[in-house]
Amino acid sequence: MTAIRPPKSLLRPAGRAIADYRMIQDGDRILLGLSGGKDSLSLLHILMHLQRHAPIRFELGAMTVDPEVEGFEPARLKPYLAELGVPYHFRAEPIMERALDHMGKDSYCSWCARMKRGTMYTTARQEGYNVLALGQHLDDLAESFLMSAFHGGRLQTMKAHYRNDDGDLRIIRPLVYARERQLADFAASAGLPVIKDNCPACFRMPTQRAHMKALLVQEESHNSQLFKTLLSSMRPLMDNDSHKNIYEFPFTGKKSANA
């Protein structure tokens, strides 16, 4: 299969995020969490492009966790990854079934995400990966920020780069500067094999996140700079270390002070 080059409009924010938060280091073995949605499939091709062209050498694999929810059909991902030549790991876990008995007060979405992440941690360790890459983008971070402020009484959002509790894996989110619509446009124009509604249970259950998404859409219609200002507000929350020194950007060749 011919490699798909992502547009510069995606490569620039991904490269900048990777550099700002020093996400990828020479010799890393990166496992991408691949749901089959537009975000993770776009990130797959971004990382493949960087693997071919960036000065830092790293290995890339992908994995899918099937939560065994009716309607989720990830079967076509296996031949697609094989054509791309990317090592692929597949795990099926009865997450929906377990959720009914064990998830407590959590929403299904948050409980499912935590269970999937645990399965990915286990697979990364077993297969010798030291970095887990996830596909959340700026819209996801903004929604999490509002949910935390409105419902949790805290100012927090997803981290761009952090270590797990055991300290043996790094988790990175290279798309934290990218907009969801950019990823949707790329997936459509490139003909990526997107699995529609890749978590049907989430679409059947009303969520706080869906409400926050609608709220942000409404606000952005009146303020075109909304996500730029939200990113500025969230930067201190995205970083585990707010006292970084100036350093070289391995993916851009520029210098920056990450504030």
pLDDT score at 196: 77
pTM equals 0.87
pLDDT at 225: 97
CATH number for the 8-237 domain, one of 3.40.50.620, 3.40.50.300, 3.40.50.1820, 2.60.40.10? 3.40.50.620
Residue-level pLDDT at 139? 97
Let me know if 153 is exposed, middle or buried by CB neighbors in 10 A (0-12, 13-18, 19+): exposed
Q: Concatenate the DSSP letters of all residues of 127-161 into one string.
A: HT--EEE----HHHHHHHHHHIIIIISS-----SE
pLDDT string in tens for the chain (259-residue length):
777 999 999 999 999 999 999 999 999 999 999 999 999 999 999 999 999 999 999 999 999 998 877 778 888 999 999 999 999 999 988 777 776 666 655 566 676 778 888 999 999 999 999 999 999 999 999 999 999 999 889 999 999 999 999 999 999 999 999 999 999 999 999 999 998 765 545 544 447 788 899 999 999 999 999 999 999 999 999 987 533 432 334 554 444 444 3
**Which distant-in-sequence residues (6+ apart) come within 8 Å of 20 by Cβ?**
160, 249, 256, 258
The reported pLDDT for the residue numbered 127 is 97
Phi/psi of residue 131, nearest 5 degrees: -135, 135
| pLDDT of res. 113 | 78
pLDDT number for residue 246: 28
Grouping H, G, I as helix, E, B as strand and the rest as coil, residue 115 is helix
Contact 137, 227 (CB under 8 A): no
pLDDT at 39: 97
3-state secondary structure of 236: helix
What is the per-residue pLDDT for 244?
Answer: 41
3-state secondary structure 55-95: CCCCEEEEEEEECCCCCCCCCCHHHHHHHHCCCEEEEECCH
Q: Given this model, what pLDDT does residue 201 score?
A: 53
DSSP 199: S
Residue-range domain boundaries for the chain: 8-237
**What is the predicted pLDDT for the residue at 69?**
76
Distance between terminal CA atoms of the chain? Answer: 41
Q: Output the CA–CA distances (angstroms, integers) from residue 234 to 172, 191, 258, 259, in the order listed.
A: 16, 33, 13, 11
Q: What is the per-residue pLDDT for 99?
A: 66
